[in-house]
Structure 1
Amino acid sequence: MSGNDIGSLIYLVLLGAVLMFWLVVQGRQGMGRTLQQMAAWALIFVGVIAAVGLWGDIRQTVAPRQSVIAEEGRIVLPRAPDGHYYATLQVNGTPTRFMVDTGATGTVLTLSDAERAGLSGDDLAFYSEALTANGTVRTAPVTLDEVALGPFTDRDVPAYVNEGEMGQSLLGMSYLQRFGRIEIAGDELVLERGT
């Protein structure tokens, strides 16, 4: 459990304790009515816990997903609720979620995504720098053995690993330029190239 999960659990337990105390204080109305109210609040409490626990699964079910139209050589990425486009690529055989950033020159991995793809943080040399909206950050140039998006597999793909805090890996133009056409139409980002 992460720190956020523990904090949420403590909050829910305290909320439940306050509600139980309130019900006991209100118990002067009669035991039957108090038991009904306790049962109703217990069900609400269990429902909230279930919703919090299942939120990740619910969000993935409801959220739009990327689609691959292999015979047409096309990848269609739906706009996410936050207004960005996301793609899941196989980096050295590991599924990695990227935010598509046409304003970024290079493709940049977070340190954790790089490590999951087999690039050890101990072996990375952070000697280059990148200018970002948040200032200058140190990066380590790397070459990814294999990157696959749908039916398209590329080898020896240049990228960078960000040394600092970064919430999401970025899919920049160094990779996107491999597509012959990049188009935003409606709420979709379309990437096309021959199969």
Structure 2
Amino acid sequence: MQGMSSYDLGRLAYLVLLTAVIGFWFFVSNRRSLGKSLQHAVLWGLIILGMIAAVGLWDDIRQTVRPTQAVFADAGRIEIPRGPDGHYRLTLDVNDTPLTFIVDTGATDIVLSKQDARKVGFDPDALPFYGRAMTANGEVRTAPVTLDQVSLDGLTDRNIPARINGGELSQSLLGMSYLQRFEQITITGNQMILTR
């Protein structure tokens, strides 16, 4: 139970008590047909376990079923659906490693989280964080780097300047230094459309 708050413990105790009361009522009211009652109890138990598993895995399920970006490389057009949280996300191959970015027109550069920086071959612990950036959470230090290759299906750019965020950044940002390579950025309905 380590890490559970008193609120969580209270909810757990309530659920255990509620389950015990319902189980007791079920047993008492169905004494004569106990075999059939046990079958129903097992069935309801499995349904409840399935619901608990669905709630616990909701983020993974949502990631799997949510719409993904559509790339029309012939036309040089990328359609990015807006996520349930209101953000637009785009997956690019950075140094041959797929990374998902939040498209951020308010960010000047491509900004990598430390985790993503490691995935594409940088060691944040060995980099000098002498740059500064202002964020909604205040000033953070950044380390300038150059990405050898950034690809989106048939669209490839080389030697792209980027920064590694020295703070706690949960997801990398795709800023204007990359977005300005597109002729047009359009938001229509629930889609962002990038056109080259």
TM-score bracket relative to the smaller structure: 0.7 to 0.9
Contact 1:20 1:38 survives alignment (8 Å): no
- Displacement of 1:41: 3.3
Contact 2:113 2:171 survives alignment (8 Å): yes
Unaligned stretches of 5+ residues in structure 2: none
The residue aligned with 1:126 is: 129
Displaced runs of 4 or more, over 4 A: 10-20
The residue aligned with 1:143 is: 146
Q: Which structure: larger Rg? A: 2
The partner residue of 1:99 within 91, 99, 102 is 102
1:172 aligns with 2:175: yes
Relative to the length of structure 2, the TM-score reads 0.83
**Residues 114-123 or 22-31, more deviating:** 22-31
Unaligned stretches of 5+ residues in structure 1: none
Aligned residues: 187
Structure 2 CA distance for partners of 1:181 and 1:24, relative to 1, 3 Å: closer
**1:16-35 map, 5 Å:** 17-18=16-17, 20-26=19-25, 27-31=27-31, 32=34, 34-35=37-38
- Displacement of 1:53: 5.3
- Displacement of 1:49: 3.6
The whole-number CA distance in structure 1 between the counterparts of 2:99 and 2:10 is 33
* Post-superposition CA distance 1:123-180 (Å, at most 9, x none): 2111111011111011111111111122211111111111111121110001111111
Relative to the length of structure 1, the TM-score reads 0.83
The whole-number CA distance in structure 2 between the counterparts of 1:160 and 1:11 is 45
Q: Report the RMSD for the aligned CA atoms in angstroms.
A: 2.7
1:182 aligns with 2:181: no
**1:12-161 map, 5 Å:** 17-18=16-17, 20-26=19-25, 27-31=27-31, 32=34, 34-35=37-38, 38-52=41-55, 54-161=57-164
Identity of aligned residues (%): 52
- Displacement of 1:190: 0.9
